[in-house]
Structure 1
Amino acid sequence: MSSPVKIPFKSLIHLDRTSGTAVYLQIAYQLINAIQRGVLVPGIQLPGSRLLSESLEVHRKTVIAAYDELDAQGWTEIRPNKGTFIGTKSPVKEADPLKYNKEFLASYPQSTGYAFKKSMLLDLPQRIKGNGLEFTDGLPDVRLAPLDQLSRVYGTNLKRRSNQKYLGYSSSEGSDYFKEMLAAYLNNTRGLHISKNNVMTTRGIDMGIYLAADLLLEAGDLVVVGDLSYYVANMIFQKAGARMISVPVDEDGISVDAVRQLCKKHKIRMLYLTPHHHYPTTVTLSAKKRLELLSLSVTYGFIILEDDYDYDFHYSSSPVLPLASADGNGMVVYIGSFCKSLAPGFRSGYLVAPENLITELSKLRGIVDRQGDVLMEQALAELLEEGEVQRHLKKALKIYHERRDIFCELLKSQLEQEVSFSAPPGGLAMWTRWKPGLNLMRISKNCAARDLYLPQTLLYQTESVTAMRLGFGNLSVKELESSVEILTWAVKKN
């Protein structure tokens, strides 16, 4: 067996004096790592504490503490009058210690040693935003969020003894209080007729879409979407094994005639809609089309997955009530969230459906998100009951309305020759069509040079479409002016 003199212990152990990890633990961890890799094999003797301390230029007590840690974890054996040895019970493969590669031990593997399933369906462009300005796909301004009110009620709920049960594992169904307040809120604002038993809480809209797709779709099922449609939903449907068929979208929303013709030829399982402000073009599905689609769903038996994410932001008039408000046959699954109403970081969404579906979906949610953030739900419930959410939305709507109008004026005054658009009736983004000869990716790169982030996911360029979905809600008036100035420069430099 090798003696301690032949083992390059100094090269095995590299100490970082600036690390937050104690020096004795650094020594112990690196020796354990060497044992696990087979560099130090069972039965080999470790240097005496004095010898190793001199070699590493540390106090002898530091080495003794490291050896004690190794012994406590069972990696070594102390033999009276002989010294400290690597435990003989450790099943490691012997390696040549003189060929030890310190870089190999000091780094984590770059890839797995096994194969696994990969999916190109879930690939999204890397987000490279810095500290500058950004066009989003319609996010709110987090600076407007009612943080004072939310922190007040959240802190109160955290301190209540009655809520201590929520700090452990509680019911997987979330807060009943929140679902009661949410049901009342949706009944008052969306014209629904639901109880808490028709509500399941989620971590935002995408989670609701994912759970609904996982439960309701089988491989090969046909899902109808608009042309164009929400890219994340499309990815989720394809991941579930569904086949997608797109139908045209005009100024009144998705084409009902196209859906009807498809139903006559195929067995349609689901129709996915963003009816209030269609993604990405922002058009509103007319009331007439909504009733026609509900009738078709009953006739042909397809599910309507209604994603009403922008319902709270409508400028011109009262919003058109969702399809779920007129659904008397249990064909609509309604999904929404407070992520836009408050701030994206507050991952609070909901799914509304008949009780038998909610029961089954809750089982599925329970294995991916056992109970959600019940304390946050309790806090949001109080804000809903006190009317704070409603007051916040009323104030925010005025600000976003002003920003929309200013954004329209800026685009018209600076880019009238290059872009065409219609002021969206609601929402926090604008659909803009550009001259076909423009290279949108080059424009995006030009913007980046001036510290304006224009994500690839907002660019739509094909043989028939040259368009961008530009969010304005997250930008103040001054920021909108700067962003349009940079965009104008980037377009002209194209």
Structure 2
Amino acid sequence: MSSPVVFPWQTLIPVDRDSATAVYLQITHQVINAIQRGYLPGGARLPGTRMMSTLLGVHRKTIIAAYEELDAQGWIYSLPNKGTFVKSEGRENKKKKLGTFPLNQYPSKTGFHFTKSNLLDISVAPGDQPYLFTDGAPDFRLSPTDQLARYYTAALRRKINRRHLGYGSSGTDTFYKIQLSNYLNQSRGLHIAPKNILATRGMEMSMYVAASTLLSKEDVVLVGALSYYKANMIFQQAGAQIKAVPVDKEGVDVEVIERLCKKQKVRMLYLTPHHHYPTTVTLSARRRIELLNLAATYGFIILEDDYEYDFHYQTSPILPLASADEKGMVVYLGSFGKTLAPGFRTGFLVAPENLIAEMQKIQAIIDQQGDSITEQVLGELITEGEIHRHLKKTQKIYQQRRDHFCETLKSQLGNIVSFTLPPGGLAVWTEWDPTLNLLRVSKACSEQGVQLPSFLLYQTQQLTAARLGFGNFTTAEATVVLKLLKTAAQQA
């Protein structure tokens, strides 16, 4: 091959002195890349340590260290008085033509084909704007971080808890499930034991495990005519057929569900009954009883998402369908993400014992170990009453924010927006002047420093609406952001 001096070492092995990686390791890794990609074939001679140090502008000892590392890993060998060479074992002796692709860059595209899913296409990442509308996210600034820090520190310091850090740990989940079952029995009117609980890393994981266990290809899943987009994506990814059911002021239309059940086999009904997503309406008590009877009659599963159960402002929350389920037709999903903070990824799934045992098999594939320390902490927060105290405190704050947000929304955009004061939750369902293009409003918002994501917008020939979260805004922030929203609507 060509002389090692002619080989473009400076181009192919750039040295970044600001990198946290030692210089000799940078050289080592990039020489390995050159060998793996065929630019340095088996038998190729490397420059001597003095020459290479001159070519790369580094100390000779750095090159010696790099060559020693390459030799230790089996990439090169040295012959006295002859030089240092690339080992030939398993590598072609034919040199690959040098291209323009740098050795320290990762490929931007795969070299193989794979199926892309349009079902999962959605942009939810926050942009650079100072204000972000959400679909009802809580304010992480209200999270009880001091209490969490104390409980985490105490849990990690206890020697008895160290056994929970290894594989196959046991004990923590039992303690947590005992406390959680007591908490749910008291706050939701359930009648469950620890064996009825599957602990997960959040609502979406619970939903994914439930769909993977319960749904087969072409199964029919009923959802609200407007429904939670992530749930729809999970069901479709599982191969299910989604059919929409009308939603009115009392929740999903039970008569339509019954007519559908008489025509075809329905596998599942997905509900967010406490505050329907996205319209925030509450499923009436009468319809809850009717749905339980229909499920028992026609044999469909009710997947009950306890979305925003903890946030109610005018009356006590209506108990979930799971609290009155006598036939084992309801699978109940919940999370502490909104209660504590979105980053606190702890969810739960409640179901009869035989189904929990089957779901544990699916969960073991994607989340074998879980998070035992977090569960220990959460169990202690429940035991000490910290969850109740935090909820009581934040509920007052969110109610004040709701009232202020709605008053300001009415004063700023009352001529083009109508809404009903939500009885709970962290978002308002707004219906807009149908002559407006909401995507243009979203674009104008971006120019005003406000991000209004497209998944919050619902615009068809029959509907022009948006779900606007208020929980993550202080009253002062809400005043500013709604004035900017008004300006954007005028410009659109």
What band does the TM-score fall into relative to the shorter chain? Answer: over 0.9
Superposed CA RMSD: 1.4
Contact 1:447/1:490, CA 8 A, preserved across alignment: yes
User: How big is the shift at 1:112?
Assistant: 1.1
CA distance in 2: counterparts of 1:32 and 1:102, whole angstroms: 17
CA distance in 1: counterparts of 2:28 and 2:208, whole angstroms: 45
Does residue 17 in structure 1 map to residue 17 in structure 2? yes
CA distance in 1: counterparts of 2:228 and 2:143, whole angstroms: 25
User: How big is the shift at 1:2?
Assistant: 4.4
Q: Which moved more, 1:131-140 or 1:458-467?
A: 131-140
Could you tell me which residue of structure 2 aligns to residue 32 of structure 1?
32
Could you tell me which residue of structure 2 aligns to residue 160 of structure 1?
158
**Cα distance per residue 1:56-95 (max 9 Å; x no partner):** 2221111111110110110011112222111121424633
CA distance in 2: counterparts of 1:12 and 1:189, whole angstroms: 64
Identify the match of residue 229 of structure 2 among 224, 228, 231. 231
Q: Which moved more, 1:281-290 or 1:444-453?
A: 444-453
CA distance in 2: counterparts of 1:84 and 1:172, whole angstroms: 54
Contact 2:163/2:169, CA 8 A, preserved across alignment: no
Could you tell me which residue of structure 1 aligns to residue 468 of structure 2?
470
Could you tell me which residue of structure 1 aligns to residue 41 of structure 2?
41
Could you tell me which residue of structure 1 aligns to residue 384 of structure 2?
386
Q: Which moved more, 1:31-40 or 1:1-10?
A: 1-10
Contact 1:173/1:362, CA 8 A, preserved across alignment: no
Q: For the structure 1 residues 159 and 224, does the alpha-carbon distance in structure 2 shift closer, same or farther, using more than 3 Å as the test?
A: same
Contact 2:43/2:93, CA 8 A, preserved across alignment: no
- The amino acid of 1:425's aligned partner reads P
Could you tell me which residue of structure 2 aligns to residue 493 of structure 1?
491
Contact 2:42/2:93, CA 8 A, preserved across alignment: no
CA distance in 2: counterparts of 1:173 and 1:461, whole angstroms: 50
**Secondary structure, aligned partner of 2:198:** strand
CA distance in 2: counterparts of 1:404 and 1:418, whole angstroms: 19
Could you tell me which residue of structure 2 aligns to residue 123 of structure 1?
121
User: How big is the shift at 1:286?
Assistant: 0.5
User: How big is the shift at 1:3?
Assistant: 4.0
Q: For the structure 1 residues 40 and 143, does the alpha-carbon distance in structure 2 shift closer, same or farther, using more than 3 Å as the test?
A: same
**Cα distance per residue 1:236-286 (max 9 Å; x no partner):** 111111001111000010000010110110100000000000000000000
CA distance in 2: counterparts of 1:90 and 1:114, whole angstroms: 23
**Secondary structure, aligned partner of 2:21:** coil
**Secondary structure, aligned partner of 1:106:** coil
Contact 1:174/1:201, CA 8 A, preserved across alignment: no
CA distance in 2: counterparts of 1:108 and 1:94, whole angstroms: 24
**Secondary structure, aligned partner of 1:375:** helix
Identify the match of residue 402 of structure 1 among 400, 403, 428. 400
Q: For the structure 1 residues 421 and 33, does the alpha-carbon distance in structure 2 shift closer, same or farther, using more than 3 Å as the test?
A: same
CA distance in 2: counterparts of 1:13 and 1:193, whole angstroms: 66
Q: For the structure 1 residues 228 and 346, does the alpha-carbon distance in structure 2 shift closer, same or farther, using more than 3 Å as the test?
A: same
Q: Which moved more, 1:468-477 or 1:52-61?
A: 52-61
Identical residues among aligned pairs (%) = 58
How do 1:67-106 and structure 2 match up within 5 A?
67-92=67-92, 94-96=94-96, 99-106=97-104
Q: For the structure 1 residues 10 and 141, does the alpha-carbon distance in structure 2 shift closer, same or farther, using more than 3 Å as the test?
A: closer
CA distance in 2: counterparts of 1:54 and 1:143, whole angstroms: 55
Could you tell me which residue of structure 2 aligns to residue 114 of structure 1?
112
**Secondary structure, aligned partner of 1:175:** helix
User: How big is the shift at 1:53?
Assistant: 1.2
Could you tell me which residue of structure 1 aligns to residue 58 of structure 2?
58
Could you tell me which residue of structure 1 aligns to residue 263 of structure 2?
265
Which segments of 5 or more consecutive residues in structure 1 lack a partner in the other structure? none
Q: For the structure 1 residues 341 and 93, does the alpha-carbon distance in structure 2 shift closer, same or farther, using more than 3 Å as the test?
A: farther
User: How big is the shift at 1:322?
Assistant: 0.2
Identify the match of residue 302 of structure 1 among 292, 300, 304. 300
Contact 1:441/1:456, CA 8 A, preserved across alignment: yes
**Cα distance per residue 1:168-218 (max 9 Å; x no partner):** 113489611111101000000000000000000111111111111111011
Q: For the structure 1 residues 465 and 294, does the alpha-carbon distance in structure 2 shift closer, same or farther, using more than 3 Å as the test?
A: same
Does residue 141 in structure 1 map to residue 142 in structure 2? no
Q: For the structure 1 residues 445 and 381, does the alpha-carbon distance in structure 2 shift closer, same or farther, using more than 3 Å as the test?
A: same
- The amino acid of 1:410's aligned partner reads T
What is the number of equivalent residue pairs in this alignment? Answer: 492
CA distance in 1: counterparts of 2:66 and 2:330, whole angstroms: 63
- The amino acid of 2:441's aligned partner reads I
CA distance in 1: counterparts of 2:357 and 2:274, whole angstroms: 27
Q: For the structure 1 residues 474 and 10, does the alpha-carbon distance in structure 2 shift closer, same or farther, using more than 3 Å as the test?
A: closer
**Secondary structure, aligned partner of 2:290:** helix
Does residue 176 in structure 1 map to residue 144 in structure 2? no
Contact 1:247/1:258, CA 8 A, preserved across alignment: yes
Q: Which moved more, 1:284-293 or 1:171-180?
A: 171-180
CA distance in 2: counterparts of 1:145 and 1:10, whole angstroms: 52
Could you tell me which residue of structure 2 aligns to residue 292 of structure 1?
290
- The amino acid of 2:241's aligned partner reads R
Q: For the structure 1 residues 347 and 92, does the alpha-carbon distance in structure 2 shift closer, same or farther, using more than 3 Å as the test?
A: farther
**Secondary structure, aligned partner of 1:318:** coil
Could you tell me which residue of structure 1 aligns to residue 212 of structure 2?
214
Q: For the structure 1 residues 90 and 102, does the alpha-carbon distance in structure 2 shift closer, same or farther, using more than 3 Å as the test?
A: farther
Could you tell me which residue of structure 1 aligns to residue 345 of structure 2?
347
User: How big is the shift at 1:11?
Assistant: 3.1
Contact 1:37/1:92, CA 8 A, preserved across alignment: no
User: How big is the shift at 1:100?
Assistant: 2.0
User: How big is the shift at 1:435?
Assistant: 0.6
Q: For the structure 1 residues 10 and 492, does the alpha-carbon distance in structure 2 shift closer, same or farther, using more than 3 Å as the test?
A: closer
CA distance in 1: counterparts of 2:392 and 2:411, whole angstroms: 29
- The amino acid of 1:49's aligned partner reads T
Contact 1:12/1:102, CA 8 A, preserved across alignment: no
Contact 1:53/1:60, CA 8 A, preserved across alignment: yes
Q: Normalised by the size of structure 2, how large is the TM-score?
A: 0.98
**Cα distance per residue 1:310-356 (max 9 Å; x no partner):** 10001110111000000001000000000011100000000000000
User: How big is the shift at 1:233?
Assistant: 0.4
User: How big is the shift at 1:362?
Assistant: 0.9
CA distance in 2: counterparts of 1:14 and 1:100, whole angstroms: 16
CA distance in 1: counterparts of 2:189 and 2:377, whole angstroms: 24
User: How big is the shift at 1:129?
Assistant: 2.0
User: How big is the shift at 1:12?
Assistant: 2.8
Contact 1:139/1:471, CA 8 A, preserved across alignment: yes
Contact 1:334/1:352, CA 8 A, preserved across alignment: yes
**Secondary structure, aligned partner of 1:272:** strand
